Amino acid sequence: MSVGPWKIRLGAKAEDDFAAILRTTLDMFGPTQVEIYRAILIDALAQLSSGPDSLGSTARDDIRPGLRSLHVARRGRHARHFIVYRASGGMTVEILRILHDRMDLAAHISA
């Protein structure tokens, strides 16, 4: 349990993932759905301000020690992405990637 709000920092690859997800959603489903999905992604990221052991998160030590993931689906809304992250110094949650749930997470996390 955290003692205060954690900072959220998106790494460069996570920023690229976020933008690519929104572009693909726009192309496939249109502007209304891209706004809905953006809100879902932001809500999931905001949940991590409670700390790396946030409710619903999963330890992914099988991929790398200290790595965790959180499925983006929130409050009954469907979503197909995972946030892959780790705790960093200064009460910061570092977002490494935002990946589709069909992807092999280990293959997309650099050492």
Q: pLDDT digits over 53-96, tens only?
A: 998 999 999 999 999 999 998 767 778 899 999 999 889 999 99
Q: How far is it, in rounded angstroms, from Cα 101 to Cα 111?
A: 20
What pLDDT is stored for residue 109 in this prediction? 81
Domain boundaries, position 50: 7-108
Could you tell me which residues come within 8 angstroms of residue 96 by beta carbon, excluding any fewer than 6 positions away?
Answer: 11, 13, 14, 67, 84, 85, 86, 109
- Tell me how far apart the alpha carbons of residues 72 and 78 are, in angstroms, rounded to a whole number: 8
Q: What is the pLDDT of residues 6-63, one digit of tens each?
A: 999 999 999 999 999 999 999 999 999 999 999 999 999 999 999 999 989 999 999 9
Q: Which CATH number characterizes residue 33's domain?
A: 3.30.2310.20
- Is 60 a member of any domain? yes
Q: How many domains does the chain have?
A: 1
- Does residue 97 belong to any structural domain of this protein? yes
pTM above 0.85, yes or no: yes
Asked if residue 12 lies in contact with residue 96, where contact means CB atoms within 8 angstroms, the answer is no
Task: Give the N- to C-terminal CA distance of the chain in Å, as an integer.
Answer: 28
Helices and strands per DSSP (H, E), number in the chain: 2, 5
Asked if residue 1 belongs to a domain, the reply is: no
Please check whether residue 50 lies inside any domain of the structure: yes
In a domain, residue 2? The reply is no
What is the band of 110 on the pLDDT scale with cuts at 50, 70, 90? low
In a domain, 93, yes or no: yes
